[in-house]
Each structure stands twice: as C-alpha cells, then as structure tokens.
Amino acid sequence: MRLYRAAVEESPRFADAWSGLALAHVRSLYRAPDERSDAVAAEAREAAGRAIAIDANNARAQAALVMVEPEFQHWDARIAALEEISARTPGTWEITLSIGLLHQATGDFRQALPVFEKLLLDEPANLRLHRILARTYFRTGRPAQAGRLLDIARKHWPRDYGLWNAGLDFLMLQGRYDEARRYLADDSLYPFNVASDALPKRHLLLDVLEGREPGQRDRLIRSFLGHLALKQDAYPGVIRMMGLLGAKTRMVEVMRGYYFGEGRYARSLSRHSPRLTGFLYQPHVDGQRSEPQFGAMMARIGIPPRPRF
C-alpha cells in the first residue's frame, strides 16, 4: 500500500500506479474491521476511477471496480465480469487469481485447480500461490503433491506462518498425530509470528482428536469461541475448528453470526464486510456435510454443501 501511495504522489498521471493502489485497497478489505469496510471500498473506487480517467482501458482498474463490490451471493456474476475483462487483457495474474478463488468459494475445484496451477507456472516466486495451491492439492486428494509443494516453498520462505500451518494441518487431517507432535516440537520450523498460546492449544487439539483427552473437548471449544471477541477475522478459523471438533450446533451458530449478523455470535455487518466461503470446503468441515443444520445453512448462503472435484 505504501509503495503505491508513494508512486501516485510521484507520478500522478501513471494509471498503473492508481490501479495498483485500487487493488491494494481491495485486498485490505479482507482485513478491515466491519466499521471501516465501506470507507476502504470508497478509497478503492476513487483510486480505480483515477486510473480509468487516465487510461479508460486499464484492465486492473476495471477489475478493481468489479472486485470491490460484495462477492457474497454474487459469485457467478463476478466470475463472468472478470472473465470478460481477462479475455480483453490476458495475462493479468491478479484477475486470474480472483477468478480461481471465486470458483473455490462455491466449492468448484474442477475449475479452480487448473487456474492455480497455471498461475504458479507463470508466477513461481509468489508465496500466496504456493499456499493456495498446496491446500488445493490436499483438498482434491493429492497429499503427496501438496507436501512436495510445501517443501519447495519452505526453502524460499522457511518461517512463513501460512506454510507452517498448512504443514501441520496436512498431518493432523490425515490422522498422523505423532508426526504432527514432532512437527510442533521442531523449533527450526516455527514461524516468526506464531502466537504464544498457539503451541499448547495445538497439542491439546491433537490429543482431543486422537481421543487421548476427551474431557478437554468442551474446554477447547470454549477457547476457540473466545477468539471471536478478540479478532473479527477469527470467524473462518473458528468455524473450521467447530466442524473439526464435531460441535455442529455451535458451528452453525457462528456461521449465522458471520454471514448474516444474527444470533449470539453476530458481527456488525456493513455492505462491504467480507464474507468468505471457500474455507467451508476444506476437510475440517467434512464431518458435518451430511448434517441437516449445515445443509440448511449452506442452502441459505446459496452454495452446495459438498465440494466438486
């Protein structure tokens, strides 16, 4: 963000700097507090408008104007709009990535996976693409490919939290609990920004999942739910953990709060508050897919309960 701000100050007639700033504002929407999201969206529109005033055909600015609009329950329309822009200006990786993530948001991994694979070939030094593709390989039943990709990525980004967390998830979700404990004990893998309470909680989670500490399940559930009062962006992770721990009623209650601002876990939604759905298709939630409560909530959201591979 700072670099784009400096660029437009130095070169106010440089359309790509303005469109880059617009896309940076769009990305920041996913971390913005609900009460700030409308203001951040307005900043993105202003920057995109400045780019288009200089260059009416600037594809990244046109895409920013599409991407700044709420995607929740408008996935197909956004895909169509971005594909139309991409067809006119191929090779714009931010647009292509957004298309892939939108397919993932509705559980369509048949469309998402080839998009991510091609992007990584074109952008091999992109950390975010390594994270996304590794999790997509794992989700689509390719754990060996996921592991190889993580190993490659760690050579370049050895202390990245996203890679570390993915590696732990892959072991845990395959039931390889002893390997996961050894992974947690290896301080050479620790990311720079791991929370002080993360490691004991991860150990406890492994024990509960393996059946060693069944009496601690409720304590762990309460602990994860407590994150909602501390961080707005905790909702997706808490929903995943509720699914993994089999807390089906709590999971649906948190989903109601996150997507619709209802119930005991309600958030103060604004028009541009991010409401992500791609994480609902991760393996953490697989144990809940046949539950009527979950199916009804997914129907209300407007997406299928099961991923398509």
Q: What's the pLDDT tens digit per position in 189-222? A: 889 887 777 899 999 999 999 999 989 999 999 9
CATH number at 75-80+90-157: 1.25.40.10
Residue 2, pLDDT above cutoff 90: no
254 close to 227: Cβ distance less than 8 angstroms: no
Residue 1, pLDDT above cutoff 90: no
Give me the helices (H) in the chain, please. 2-10, 15-28, 34-54, 59-67, 75-88, 93-105, 109-122, 127-139, 143-156, 161-173, 177-185, 198-210, 217-226, 235-244, 248-260, 292-301
- What tokens does 292 get? 């009527």
Does the global pTM surpass 0.85?
yes
Please state, rounded to an integer, the average pLDDT across all residues of the chain: 95
CATH 1.25.40.10 residue spans of the chain: 75-80+90-157
Q: Mapped to the 3 state alphabet, what secondary structure does 92-143 carry? A: CHHHHHHHHHHHHHCCEHHHHHHHHHHHHHHCCCCHHHHHHHHHHHHHCCCH
Neighbours of 104 (CB within 10 A): 27
Strand, coil or helix: what is 245?
coil
As a whole number, mean pLDDT of residues 160-185 equals 96
- Measured between alpha carbons, how far is 39 from 47 in angstroms, rounded to an integer? 13
- Measured between alpha carbons, how far is 111 from 100 in angstroms, rounded to an integer? 7
Model pLDDT for residues 281-299, shown as the tens digit of each residue: 999 999 999 999 999 999 9
Q: What percent of the chain has pLDDT over 90?
A: 89
As a whole number, mean pLDDT of residues 246-271 equals 97
Model pLDDT for residues 43-97, shown as the tens digit of each residue: 999 999 999 999 999 999 999 999 999 999 999 999 999 999 999 998 789 999 9
The pLDDT of residue 24 is: 96
pLDDT level of residue 31 (50, 70, 90 thresholds): confident
Residue 30, pLDDT above cutoff 80: yes
As a whole number, mean pLDDT of residues 22-37 equals 94
User: Torsion over CA of 252, 288, 283 and 298, rounded to 10 degrees?
Assistant: -50
End-to-end CA distance of the chain: 36
The pLDDT of residue 198 is: 82
The pLDDT of residue 213 is: 92
226 close to 238: Cβ distance less than 8 angstroms: no
What's the CATH number of domain 1-69, 1.25.40, 3.40.1350, 1.20.1640, 1.20.1440? 1.25.40
